[in-house]
Each structure stands twice: as structure tokens, then as C-alpha cells.
Amino acid sequence: MANDVLGDWRCTAAIALLFSGGKHTHSSDSQKEADHWIYHPHVIEADDYECSRCHARFRKEAVSCPKCGTTMSGKTVKDEDEWIDEEEKLDILFDDD
């Protein structure tokens, strides 16, 4: 019984690999959100954009990431946390309440 189940699983995995073009993908990989830019606003320095795939940062958006070549098909997501952290540091530095 166990060998039949294992044999069926291997057959299903081989068929899935054939139809995926030779790329091994998990079902959870296909359900992840599309590759996109993450917008990082800054208080003092220039804003930048981060690739969701390789996490490299650039000063402006592009159709694809200059570092890894990933085509960006999702919407740009804004990261508020970094901006808030910078603002808190400035408040501490200038002793603002």
C-alpha cells in the first residue's frame, strides 16, 4: 500500500515538473504575490525603491530590476516603518516631544 502511494506521488510530481517547463515550483510559490517594488520614503535623504525578489535598492522604479532582471508585475507597496523610524530618531536628536 505504501509503495503504491509513493509511486503515485512520484508520477504526479514528474508530470507537474514536465508541465512547469522544468522549473520546480511549489503550490505556495505560485500563490505568492507578484514581484513588485517596495517604496521607502525617507525624511532627510532621497527616497528609494527595493526589489521584492533580490532586495537591492535603487533611486527610481524601472520595468525590471537592474540587479536580478526580475520583471515587476505587481503594484508598488509603500513601506511606512522606515520613515517612522527615521522621524523618531530625529525627534530624539532634537529632543522634540
pLDDT, tens digit (0-9, with 9 covering 90-100), for 81-93: 776 777 787 788 8
- pLDDT tens-place string over residues 29-42: 443 579 999 999 88
The candidate with the shortest Cα–Cα distance to 33, out of 77, 87, 86, is 77
Show the CA angle centred on residue 26, arms to residues 78 and 35, nearest 5°.
25
pTM: 0.57
Backbone dihedral angles phi then psi of residue 43, each to the nearest 5 degrees: -75, -50
- pLDDT tens-place string over residues 8-25: 545 454 454 444 444 444
Q: Average of pLDDT values for 63-74?
A: 95
H/E stretch holding 51: strand 48-51
Spatial distance between the Cα atoms of 88 and 94, rounded to a whole number of angstroms: 10
